[in-house]
Structure 1
Amino acid sequence: MVPYNVSLLMVWAFLGLTLAIGLCAAQKTTFRAYAVGDKRFHTNTLVVTVLATAFGGGVLMRNMPHIYDDGISCILYSFGTPLSFWIISLLGIRMDPFMNHLSIAETIGSVYGKYPRWITALLAICFSIGLVAIQINVVTSAIGMCIDSINPRMVTVWATLILISYAILGGVRAITTTDVLQFVTFIIIIALFIKFLFIKTGKSFLEVVWQLKQEEKFELSNFFQRDRNLFNVIQVYLAALFYLSPSILQRLYMASSPIQAYKVFLRATFFSVIILGCIVWIGLLVFVCHPTLSKTEIWPYILADRSPAYRGCMVICLLGMTMSTADSNLHTAATMVSHDIVGSIRNVPSNSHIHQLRWAKLTLLITGLLAMIVTAYYPDLYRLASFVISYGISLFIITVIPPFILAIFGFRGSTCTALMGMLTATLVYLVWEQWIQPKTGIGFGCFPLAANFLAMMATHYLLPQLDGKGWIGRSNQQKRMQQLIQAFKKYKKRIDLE
């Protein structure tokens, strides 16, 4: 038997187990149950699915080599994810007026009208397709590095078809169930991975730390030397706070109450720090083992002279990360097409029309196939990630997040107000990327976000508005929830002191 067949058998076993669990979770359901599971999820289950959705295969495959190569700069920038989770937890406690909604697009539409709703849905769909394409690319690269006895494209296609199958048949409940399996698998294998790398260094923990302290690029002072423009650093970090993806925000609508949403993302903040710490530690251990590698040589070095079982575990780890992210993004895109585009045009309730469920399943299939086509045009992971970030992720964040945050905090604007903010942010982004950034070296950061906020406020206060538009006070329910949180914090602090 060829040695690498052991790795292949492990991969097929993992895919078969994932499919079986996903199909077991599938059941006849309404569209509301398909989209948000009737909001009947345990808090810890939601925490796991948030983390599994956020940490895709690209985080390990792409970020770890950057940590190795760039040092302290990449390490500090990596911890933007926990900060964004913390921001979402603060937004979640104010979600009471929108908890019956099924997506962020519906929330935008309820406040600003149907055109901003359609724009939000379309941008979220493009965002999701791009992220799924990145995950497919990661799987292909991982299989190509670890298993030489098979065409990696074939396994990737099968993995994609498997996640599409259980996502179509089971909806968000099947996705959440498989996310638990995939996340637990990822955590176990990452722990073993760190252990093997630590043994490979042949040094104690203190010796590893001492060697890293001798390296200039891992010193905090080097961060300010490389990024001398403090203003640029600050505005990039501010922009990272608003990195709120549609698939992550969709988890807000799966919570049963604002209190549960707050707890979910607060816990996710803590655990995401631990996960990112593990990924950073992997990059540091690889550097200690061999400090002169290029980015393209890092993964071949890690896998060199490794047993088939080790390689199989590595592929399974990346499969778990990529599938848990891809299925959530596919589901988010399907929900928005059927509910926010088709459903809003036809004006049908989400809980009474079977056609929405059919549209969602058809969309999920088409979106998955489109992602595979995008991957075929951009086989290079770094080039694909750059394209998705520039024209998918960035446009969604700068156009959708500001009006969403304003709505959460009680602003009720007109359609014109939202559209002016979206248009202004897009123009600022394009001008900055094409002309300002090449000349100054300063990234666009939070400037389009600020332009969106300012344009919306200027439009609202300078143009005539209909009655009922403007800022509204917090509801009694929101005030009671805030009081409960404050009482809980005081009680916990008193227990800690005792």
Structure 2
Amino acid sequence: MPLYNIPLFMALAFLFVTLTIGLCMSQKSTTFRAYAIGTKQFHTATLIATVLATSFGGGFFMRELPKMYAQGILYIFFTVAGGIVRCYIISLLALHMGPFMEHLSTSETIGMIYGQYIRMVTALLTTGCCIGVVAIQINVMSCAIGMCMDTTTPSILTVLATLTLISYAVFGGIRAITITDLFQLATFTIVLPFLLKLLFVKIDQSFLEMIKFLQKEETFQCKNLFKFDKKYWIHLFNHLHWVLSFSPAVIQRFYMSSGPIQAKKVFSRAVLFTAIIWIGIALIALFVFVGNPMLHRKEIWSYILADMSPFYKGYVAISILAMTMSTADSHLQTASIMISHDMVESMRNLQAPPYMHKLRLAKLATLVTGLLAMIVTVYYSDLFALSTFVFEWLCGFFTAIVIPLFILTVLGFRGTTRTAFMGMTTGMVVILIWNHWIKPKIAIDGTIIAVAANGLATMAAHYLLPQPPSTGWAEPDAQQKRMMELIRAFKKYRKNIDLE
């Protein structure tokens, strides 16, 4: 076989193995609950792996690495810190998920408190966000295949990869997605130390020489971390919403856990691995900058892949494919739950018998949302333009409108449909006005402003308007009280050991 066909052969083999694992390891789901969240008997390590595989998509790798290279230490610091803090905040919320662990989705949790209309809006916004994320992953697939395989027509293999992940997501459900996530996580985590070693050999400098070189560059000087100028505050505000930008598919992992304790363990332990992966990506960006500080962002991957053998190019390609597929399949499955479960239930009468064809509708929804994501990539062929559209508008709306209400609900706030509607409307209006008129002038994203406006408007509507007696902050239930007592006892025990 000619050498230039090796990357293509490796990519096809990876897709075949992934599809085989997804279909063979899937459980024949006879109920919608098993298809959506499984049997709640997943091992903690398995859930950690699927959280990491879902969180780190190929879009992060392909998009964040050039930004770290171009914008320097401030962007690296706030991006890495934001990713770690976000995972830690989710782990804190896990302890309060007791009353909602039998639910199937975020929309169901919010809808239980605020009613069917709010549940429908939440499901629509979540679905839009998921489709946008899947579109980014498909775009990254095309970019990776084009770069690593030296071909100008990667569309056929991109379509094949997309149909592969749609296939096992449709037929295998959450079990197939979780098992393939394990395989895909193992595939792409190996590429980080591989690229670090490759770039370290390429630049042929010691760590001390690299540090001295970086300190001569203005954007990479450590003093910028304590230089509270305009640039510092722009980075800070633009990354504050990063802390609260919970992925819909990651939140879905709450409901796959056996209980709040396991969910807490999953996300607490994921914090460490999240830090390791983010630091690895940051180091790759630093090594590339030391090797050649004059690259354009579109030339960075060409520099990384230059002089690389076809076998190694193929491995980089399948690693990026693994990252994209592990993120895309989880978001497809989350969108299918929103459509077949939350939207259908929101439109039906509460006294109506259960919908009999929910499982079939979920499989059809997975197929349709995957095809819609492919259509979006046709209109936004540039990765950076597509990422801007998705994160500024689709995911921006989800974060600004849904996340504040979800956090308040989990923490024990019980409002009415009116208060929720007023908060969500405020968040939507603020992000529209800010991103359209204010952001172009001051370069600060309005998502965190909209999040704050949403939460404040909800609280103001609750305390300023007449409310039913059953609303307000709920007392912790018996399970939450027991968990808090156990945590306090454990902290006291550790303190006593440290004193000894």
TM-score computed with the length of structure 1 as normaliser? 0.96
AA paired with 2:21?
I
> Is the contact made by 2:399 and 2:447 (CA closer than 8 Å) also made in structure 1?
no
Report which stretch shifted further, 346-355 or 190-199.
346-355
The alpha carbon displacement at 1:247 in A equals: 0.8
Report which stretch shifted further, 369-378 or 203-212.
203-212
The alpha carbon displacement at 1:211 in A equals: 2.2
Per-residue CA shift, 1:336-372, capped at 9, x if unaligned?
A: 1111011343358999654111110000000000000
Report which stretch shifted further, 222-231 or 336-345.
222-231
Report which stretch shifted further, 163-172 or 238-247.
238-247
Structure 1 unaligned regions, length at least 5 = none
Report which stretch shifted further, 95-104 or 401-410.
401-410
AA paired with 1:195?
K
Per-residue CA shift, 1:416-472, capped at 9, x if unaligned?
A: 110100001111111112222233443324211111111111211222222311111
| Residue aligning to 1:158 | 160
| Residue aligning to 2:28 | 28
| Residue aligning to 1:146 | 148
In 1, the alpha carbon distance for the partners of 2:295 and 2:152 equals 27
AA paired with 1:485?
I
User: The residue matched to 1:373 in structure 2 has which SS?
Assistant: helix
> Is the contact made by 2:400 and 2:447 (CA closer than 8 Å) also made in structure 1?
no
| Residue aligning to 1:17 | 17
In 1, the alpha carbon distance for the partners of 2:133 and 2:359 equals 23
Map 1:372-383 → 2, pairs under 5 A: 372-383=374-385
The alpha carbon displacement at 1:489 in A equals: 3.9
The alpha carbon displacement at 1:131 in A equals: 0.4
The alpha carbon displacement at 1:103 in A equals: 0.4
Q: In the comparison of the two structures, how many residue pairs are matched? A: 498
Q: Say if 1:494 and 1:312 are closer, same or farther in 2 by CA, change over 3 A.
A: farther
> Is the contact made by 1:31 and 1:350 (CA closer than 8 Å) also made in structure 2?
no
User: The residue matched to 1:82 in structure 2 has which SS?
Assistant: helix
The alpha carbon displacement at 1:237 in A equals: 4.1
1:2 and 2:2 are equivalent in the alignment: yes
> Is the contact made by 1:5 and 1:149 (CA closer than 8 Å) also made in structure 2?
no
In 1, the alpha carbon distance for the partners of 2:353 and 2:164 equals 27
Map 1:88-487 → 2, pairs under 5 A: 88-149=90-151, 151-223=153-225, 227-228=229-230, 232-346=234-348, 353-487=355-489
Per-residue CA shift, 1:306-343, capped at 9, x if unaligned?
A: 11001101101100100000000000000111110113
Structure 2 unaligned regions, length at least 5 = none
User: The residue matched to 2:230 in structure 1 has which SS?
Assistant: coil
In 1, the alpha carbon distance for the partners of 2:352 and 2:490 equals 36
| Residue aligning to 2:62 | 61
In 1, the alpha carbon distance for the partners of 2:75 and 2:461 equals 38
In 2, the alpha carbon distance for the partners of 1:280 and 1:37 equals 35
Which contiguous aligned blocks of 4+ residues in structure 1 show a shift greater than 6 angstroms? 348-352
Q: CA RMSD in A?
A: 2.0
In 2, the alpha carbon distance for the partners of 1:493 and 1:182 equals 40
User: The residue matched to 1:363 in structure 2 has which SS?
Assistant: helix
Q: Say if 1:193 and 1:48 are closer, same or farther in 2 by CA, change over 3 A.
A: same
The alpha carbon displacement at 1:232 in A equals: 4.5
AA paired with 1:21?
I
The alpha carbon displacement at 1:243 in A equals: 1.0
| Residue aligning to 2:85 | 83
Q: Say if 1:473 and 1:75 are closer, same or farther in 2 by CA, change over 3 A.
A: same
Report which stretch shifted further, 188-197 or 348-357.
348-357
In 2, the alpha carbon distance for the partners of 1:440 and 1:241 equals 21
User: The residue matched to 1:39 in structure 2 has which SS?
Assistant: coil
User: The residue matched to 2:357 in structure 1 has which SS?
Assistant: helix
TM-score computed with the length of structure 2 as normaliser? 0.95
AA paired with 2:271?
T
> Is the contact made by 1:27 and 1:169 (CA closer than 8 Å) also made in structure 2?
no
